Structure 1
Amino acid sequence: MKSTTVPLYKETKRLILRHLEPYDYENWSQAFSSMRPPQSEWDETSWTLSELTKAKFKEKLKKELKRRAADSAYELSVFRKDDGMLIGHVAIDGIIRGNFQNGVLGYRIFNNFWGEGYATEACSAAMQLAFKELKLHRVEAFIEPDNKPSLKVAKKIKLRKEGLSVRRVFWKKKWINLSVFAATSEDYGIKYKFPPKQK
C-alpha cells in the first residue's frame, strides 16, 4: 500500500475521531494538565506540565504526519461531540504490509473520563477505520493480563484472545507478559481482497 497523508475521520454517536490540528493546542494542553493523578498502575502521565508547550505540540504534529506519510502509524485524537473536549486518543500502529496487512490497536482515555464507555466506542470506530480505510486484514492488541478494564474493551469490540506473549515488553524495570488479542476484517463482516486497492 502506498504511503498516504490523507486524513482519517470518524464520527460515532458521542465522539469524533480525527488527527490533531494546529488549532487544537489549547484543548490538548488543557486535557493533559487537568488529568487526575494516576488511578491505576497502567495509568501514566504522557506529558509533564513543563512539556505542554506550543513547540512540543508542533513537534508532535510533525511526528504524527511523518508516520502517516510512511504508512507506519495513524494516531487519532478522540473528542466529545457535545463540547469538543479532547478526552483521549486511539492509534493503529506497527503496520506491516506485504503478505501480512497487519496493525496494532492502542488507546488511552484520560482518567477524568473513565467509566463512560468512551474506550469501547472509540476503539470500535478505530477498528472500522483500520479495515475500511487503511485496508488492513488483521488488527492485534497486546494487553496486560491483569488490566481488567482493557480486557473488557477487547471483548466488547470483538477481539478474540489468541494467547500469551511471554516477556513481550520491558516496562517498569522488568519484562512483562502481554495477552494477545486480534480480529480480522472477516470478523467485522468485511470481505478482504488481496492485494488491497491502492489509495
Structure 2
Amino acid sequence: MDFGNKSFYIVAETERLVVRPLIKADYNNWLSECESRLPSQHQYDEGSSDMSERTVEWFSDFINYHQELAVNDKAYIFGVFRKEDGKHLGMIDFSTIERDVFQWGKIGYSIHNHHWNNGYGKEAVKEAIKVAFNELGFHRIEAHINVDNGPSIKLAESVGMEFECIRKGFIFEFGEWTDNLIYFKNST
C-alpha cells in the first residue's frame, strides 16, 4: 500500500464485475442507478431517495473525499460495476479500525435493490476482501451487522465470514444503542 503520489486507484475484476473507486466520469451512471432504486424493501435498505441535490459538483466533492479518506488510511471506498454494460450496482467500503500489530478493518456493502438476487453482492464482496488482504494490508476484516438484518448476515456467511459474537449496545442508531453481530475473516 503506497500512496506516495497521493491518489488511490485499485481495480479488481471477477467474471462479471469490476470493483474500483468511483471516478468523476461515473456521475451519470451512478446517478441513474441511484434514481432507479425501488422503494425500500426492509429497514436496512435505503431504497429510492431524492437525488436532486446530488449534482456534478456534489459528486466531485464526494470523489475527492473518498480519495482523502484512502490517502489518510481512514477508509477505502469502491464502486461495483457490471462488466457487460458498465452499470453501477452498488458500493463496498473498508474502514480502518486499527493498524500497528492488528491490521484490522471493517467492511460495509450495499447493492442497489433493483439488482438484488443476481449474486452480485457475494461476488463483489468476495473479491473486495481479497483486495483488503492483498492490496490494503489488512489481516482481519469484520462486518458489524444488526441482529435482524438477515440479508447482510446471509451475505457475510456466503463469503466465508465467521460469526464471532454479539456486541451489546454497540451502535447508536434509530434513537437507541443497538446490538450488532460481529462476523470476521482473517487473511490466514
Q: TM-score range by the shorter chain?
A: over 0.9
Classify 1:47/1:37 alpha carbon distance in 2 versus 1 (closer, same or farther; 3 Å): closer
Q: Considering only aligned residues, what root-mean-square deviation do their CA atoms show, in Å?
A: 1.5
Is 1:12 paired with 2:9? Answer: no
Give 2:110's aligned residue.
108
| 1:33-182 → structure 2 map (5 Å cutoff) | 33-45=35-47, 48-182=50-184
How far apart, in 2, do the equivalents of 1:2 and 1:180 lie? 30
How far apart, in 1, do the equivalents of 2:187 and 2:59 lie? 34
CA shift digits 1:135-183 (9 cap, x unpaired): 1111111011111111111111111110001111111112111000111
How far apart, in 2, do the equivalents of 1:47 and 1:99 lie? 41
SS of residue paired to 1:170: strand
Q: Is the 8 A contact 1:102 1:137 kept in 2?
A: yes
Q: Is the 8 A contact 1:19 1:77 kept in 2?
A: yes
Per the normalisation by structure 1, the TM-score is 0.89
SS of residue paired to 2:101: coil
Counterpart residue type for residue 129 of structure 1:
V
Task: Tell me the matched-pair count.
Answer: 186
How far apart, in 1, do the equivalents of 2:64 and 2:180 lie? 30
SS of residue paired to 1:49: coil
Classify 1:47/1:19 alpha carbon distance in 2 versus 1 (closer, same or farther; 3 Å): farther
How far apart, in 2, do the equivalents of 1:129 and 1:7 lie? 12
Structure 1 position 3, deviation (Å) = 5.1
Q: Is the 8 A contact 1:92 1:126 kept in 2?
A: no
SS of residue paired to 1:50: coil
How far apart, in 1, do the equivalents of 2:123 and 2:50 lie? 28
**Gaps spanning 5+ residues in structure 1: where?**
187-199
How far apart, in 2, do the equivalents of 1:40 and 1:48 lie? 18
Structure 1 position 45, deviation (Å) = 4.8
Structure 1 position 10, deviation (Å) = 0.4
SS of residue paired to 1:142: strand
How far apart, in 2, do the equivalents of 1:6 and 1:179 lie? 31
How far apart, in 2, do the equivalents of 1:43 and 1:28 lie? 17
Structure 1 position 27, deviation (Å) = 0.6
Per the normalisation by structure 2, the TM-score is 0.94
